[in-house]
Amino acid sequence: MTFVATCDLFDRFKDDARFVLPGFRDFGAVTRFSGPAVTVKCFEDNSRVKELLATPGEGRVLVVDGGGSLRCALMGDMIAASAVRNGWAGVVIWGCVRDVAELAALDLGVKALAATPRASTRRDQGLADVPAELPGATVRPGDVVFADEDGIVILTAEQAAGLK
C-alpha cells in the first residue's frame, strides 16, 4: 500500500473521506503508516487483539474499538513485538497501551489515546471483523487506514484503489 499524507487525502476526497477526531497519540517508532483494516471490537479485554496480531499481517492495520476506555491497556510490548514479527503495518486503538518505551523502539505504527500501566484481563471476549467505531468514523473490515502526524483518514477500498 502506497502511503499518502492524510492532509492530501482529505484535500482530494473532502467530505467523502472519513477522519478520526483528534486525540490519538503516536507510540510506535513508525508515525506514518497505511494498510487495509482488520477490525476488532473489545472492551477491557485484549484476547482478540493478541490473537489477531499473532497471525500474518501482510501490511494490514488492526483497528481496535476499545470503547475509549482509559482503565487498562489493550496492547503492550509483547503483543506489539508479535505484530512486528508477523508483518503488521500498524495498530490503531481507541483505548490505551502500555510499555511505552519499548513500543517507541518497535518498527510498528501505533496510535492510541494514552498509556497506562494496568493490563487488561483476558476473558476471551471481543469480536473480530465487525465495524469498529472510532471517534468521528466507523471503520469496516477492508477499508484502508492512513495514519500520520496529522491524524487518521479512512477510505473505502475503492477510493484507495484510485490512488495509484
Alpha carbon 103 to its chain centroid, in Å, reads 14
* β partners of residue 112: 25, 93
Provide the residue type at 72 as one letter: C
For residue 26, being part of any structural domain is answered with yes
For residue 74, being part of any structural domain is answered with yes
Q: With a cut of 50, which residues of the chain have pLDDT below it?
A: none
Domain count, the chain: 1
For residue 1, being part of any structural domain is answered with no
- What confidence score (pLDDT) does residue 21 get? 97
25-26 vs 18-19, strand pairing mode:
unpaired
Domain that residue 112 falls in: 6-161
- For the CA atoms of 140, 85, 102, 7, what is the dihedral angle to 10 degrees? -40
- What confidence score (pLDDT) does residue 2 get? 79
C-alpha cell at 47: 484476547
- What confidence score (pLDDT) does residue 162 get? 87
Q: What is the CATH number of the domain that holds 82?
A: 3.50.30.40
